[in-house]
Structure 1
Amino acid sequence: MVGELVASGNISDSGWEAAFRAVPRHLFVSRFYRGDANGSAVIDSGAGNEWLAAVYSDTHLVTTEDVRSSSTAPSLMASMLQALELTGNERVLEIGTGTGYNAALLSERLGADQVVSIDIDPGLIVEARERLEAAGYEPLVAVADGVNGYPVAGPYDAVIATCRLDYIPAAWLQQLRPGGVIVTPLGAGVAVLRKTGDGAEGEFLPNPAYFMPLRHQPEPTDIAELIQVALNGTGISRPHRFDTSMYRDDEARFWLDLTQPGVRLVTVDGVALAFRPDGSWARLVDGLVVQGGPGFVWDDVKAAHEGWLSAGRPSRERHRLRVSSAGQDVYLVDSSESRHRLEPLQG
């Protein structure tokens, strides 16, 4: 597996090549789940070569039946780890312990005493500790809400997250040393930021990235309730120009996730629904969009998509991100003008 990652250029750093060769992925993926029309099937060591071949392939594997945790494709893991630009002496905070595999790679590269890994799920933490110990690593692994970082073990030279966010939490910047690096999924991409003063600036990796969202307490408005309101609510109706298919274009979705954070899409009985935590909702059916709640969520999505089209359909490589106490600014490399401001979510 590592040989293929090196040959393809996904691993170019000899230090990370050595770490990937040293850490046995099968200890961290003792089972995984595959879903089909008939439900999910568990694949474990009892499946022999089928299990082992999948574990040592460049494949994203779901490791809990309820999809709470997974093991990211090694090529994407390598890209994110290399983006930290570690020299070997840094202290790193990982947000989202998951299986523990990423923490093991960091421990192999830096030494376990330089690695702190947190997850909000106590069950995942217990299992990850057991796997890490079996592999010979004992980093600090703790139950904590990733939005708050882990101040008692800081400050850190780098923060890496393995879960999707819509904004960069202020706590991460506060616990990061000057010049420190943040590598995190943001929307449908991976942001690489370096701390400057009390803020941070950076760019995005070229890789598309779709991670499970960071779980955070307190929970936003109950999603099941929002879905029912969107399905049955009475609101303002009009013909729509764009439907949810624009989210199937990777570059368009990247822009939309950055400029319309918090918008979530689901399809129920063939009806496309959009909603966001403030309670705004939209229902798209029969060429019409019906909207309700405190805002017009689909109007906002439509305006953002039109902005992307008018900007020439910019790819993710052209985007830059600036984070400060005032919020998040997304802008293009060929423009000094900020295109969109993303205010941090509260809580």
Structure 2
Amino acid sequence: MSEPTSSEYLGKMVADLVACGALVDQRWQAAFMAVPRHLFVPRFYRNDQQGSTVVDEAFGDEWLAGVYSDVHLVTTEDVRSSSTAPSLMARMLEALELEGGERVLEIGTGTGYNTALLSERLGADHVTSVDIDPDLVAQAKERLNRAGYSPRVVAADGADGDPDAGVYDAVIATCRLDYIPQAWLNQLRSNGAIVTPLGAGVAVLRKTSAGDGATGRFLSASAYFMPLRHQAAPALAGDLIRLALHGSGDTRPYKFGASIHSDNEARFWLDLTNPEVRPATVDGVSLFFRPDGSWARLVDDQVTQGGPSKVWDDIEAAYTTWLAAGRPSREHYRLTVSGPQQEVFLGDSTEPVLRLKA
């Protein structure tokens, strides 16, 4: 029996997205069927006990099966870029509620696959994509051209949006943010949509008819994206990891262990309240650190902390607040943006439970 072709893998992927409810709009179904994902993921990196393996066309059916699976794929060896799981991409694209003909700004070109889907759905002349990394931009342009699309793709800081191109009807981001950049709202028409990862969730906002504000909600789906970068070189975390792994500090029994950071629902609140905290696991040791040099190491029911602030104290406090609120999931939170003020509300409460810091 011959191996399945790329078109057969593509057809199965789309059918599975429809079956699981991620892809509902028939116009987006057609766009997903028209764009071959393997053109945008010529290779991906698989990590296992033997280390990192590059899976590319030479792997044949194994490569295609991976490309057309509903999983997040790391596409560069230095983890600068990845391709999001198709089901999450579909949910985010559908959340834009596009009718056709809108001008859309994408933040985070990456492989170019999401850019191609937008181009297929709207027409390439209605799509602009921005990425901080010139190399990724060049690769994405080449892949897009090979697939028959020529949208505007720009190497720039995504936090600034695209100030030279006028007003957009929608903004979609494929990278993690900790607040909504004001530039996006300035470049968005009234009632325009913003769909963006925020912490470990996806915010769906509509710009209000007057002023520079927006209101919205969070999708129920979890979202773990690479953070928006403001410079071409990736941030160096090695020194912080070594400090957290070997540094001396204050030690105490911890109230909650590292597993709370793996709780899918708790992680949403923990990331919103402590946006700069980054986790790492080295030789089975759980580490947490901030760019300011604060760190925590959890070993044998003990936490050791050092630096300007107590990282694990802050995480435990946030987790205690989340427990007291009844363990609410992502979709129970709302977000309101009014100029520089960005507030998160729980349920129907009129009092914010959190103010985001730009």
Fold-level match, TM-score > 0.5? Answer: yes
Q: How does 1:71-86 map to 2 (within 5 A)?
A: 71-86=83-98
Task: Quote how far apart the aligned CAs of 1:232 are.
Answer: 4.0
Q: Give unmatched runs, 5+ long, in structure 2.
A: 1-12
Distance 2:327 2:103 in 1: 38
Find the residue that maps to 1:153 and give its secondary structure: coil
The one-character-per-residue Cα deviations of 1:154-198 (angstroms, maximum 9, x if unpaired) are 321111111111221121112111111111111111111111231
Distance 1:79 1:303 in 2: 32
Kindly report structure 1 stretches of 4+ aligned residues shifted beyond 6 Å. 218-221
Q: How does 1:1-347 map to 2 (within 5 A)?
A: 1-196=13-208, 197-217=211-231, 222-344=236-358
| 1:339 maps to amino acid | V
Distance 2:232 2:303 in 1: 31
Distance 1:103 1:91 in 2: 12
Distance 1:259 1:134 in 2: 43
Task: Quote how far apart the aligned CAs of 1:262 are.
Answer: 0.8
| 1:325 maps to amino acid | G
Find the residue that maps to 1:151 and give its secondary structure: coil
| 1:293 maps to amino acid | G
| 2:306 maps to amino acid | G
- Give the TM-score normalised by structure 2: 0.90
Q: Give unmatched runs, 5+ long, in structure 1.
A: none
Distance 1:126 1:25 in 2: 18
Task: Quote how far apart the aligned CAs of 1:282 are.
Answer: 2.3
Distance 1:220 1:240 in 2: 32
Distance 2:67 2:45 in 1: 12
The one-character-per-residue Cα deviations of 1:79-113 (angstroms, maximum 9, x if unpaired) are 00000011112111111111111111101111111
Distance 1:13 1:280, change over 3 A: same
In angstroms, what is the RMSD of aligned CA positions?
Answer: 1.9
Distance 1:256 1:161 in 2: 21
Task: Quote how far apart the aligned CAs of 1:77 are.
Answer: 0.8
Distance 1:287 1:8 in 2: 40
| 2:189 maps to amino acid | R
Find the residue that maps to 2:215 and give its secondary structure: strand
Distance 1:278 1:218, change over 3 A: farther
Q: Percent identity?
A: 68
- Whether contact under 8 Å (1:221, 1:278) holds in the other structure is no
